[in-house]
Amino acid sequence: MQLYSKIIKPLLDSTIALVGLIVLSPLLVVLTIFLYWANDGKPFFLQPRPGRNGKVFRVVKFKTMNDKRAADGQLLPDEARLTPVGKFIRKTSLDELPQLLNVLKGDMSLVGPRPLLVEYLPLYNDLQWKRHNVKPGITGWAQVNGRNAVSWSERFAYDAYYVDNISFALDVKILRMTVLKVIQSEGISSASSVSMEKFTGNDPR
C-alpha cells in the first residue's frame, strides 16, 4: 500500500491529469466561453480548501451559480443562483474538470476524500480529521456512495474507510463507479438543497 500511495498513485495522477487536460481542452474552452457569458465574465470558481495534512490550497471548478444578491446585499439561495447552463454542467459533473489542474499541481488526487471548507477544520474530531491523511480527490468513496445525498456522519465514515483501505483496486473501482454515477446523475443534491448543507460539528466527539 505504501508503494502505491506514495509513488504509483502520484505518478498515475499527474500522467492522467496531463493527458486529460490535453484531450479535453476543446471541451474546456467551450464550457469556459458559455460560463463566461452566463456568469458575467466569471467562468471559474476558486476557493481555499484544505488538502493533505490540512494544508490550504485553491481549488478551481467551473462556476455554476451567479452572484445575484437580495436587496439587503445577501446572496440569493443556491437554487435561485443556479443558471441553466450551470445546472447542466453540475448535473453532468463537468464542473469538476478544471480540478485536473489541481491534480497536475500535486494539491489533489484523482481519487480521495473531497476537499471541504476551511472553516470546518476546527470542528473535526479524530475520525473526521483522518480524511486529511491523504490528498483530497476529484471523486472518492463517499461520492460513489451517495455524494451530497448522504449525511455528514456517513460521508466521514466513507472517507475514513478510504484512508484505511487505499489501494489501486479500490481507486479503479471508485473511478468505474464514478462514471456510472455521472451517467445516472445520482446524489448531486441533498434532500433539501442543490448542494450539501453546511457541516456544523454536531457529530459526537
> Three cell numbers at 168?
489501486
User: What are the residue boundaries of the structural domains of the chain, listed by start?
Assistant: 2-184
Mean pLDDT per 10-residue segment, the chain (205 residues): 90 97 96 90 94 96 85 77 85 93 97 96 94 96 85 94 96 95 67 66 56
Please say whether the beta carbons of 139 and 70 come within 8 A.
no
Taking the model in full, what pTM does it have?
Answer: 0.86
Q: How far is it, in rounded angstroms, from Cα 141 to Cα 166?
A: 10
Please say whether the beta carbons of 24 and 30 come within 8 A.
no
- Bridge-based pairing of strands 137-139 and 109-111 is parallel
> Three cell numbers at 204?
459526537
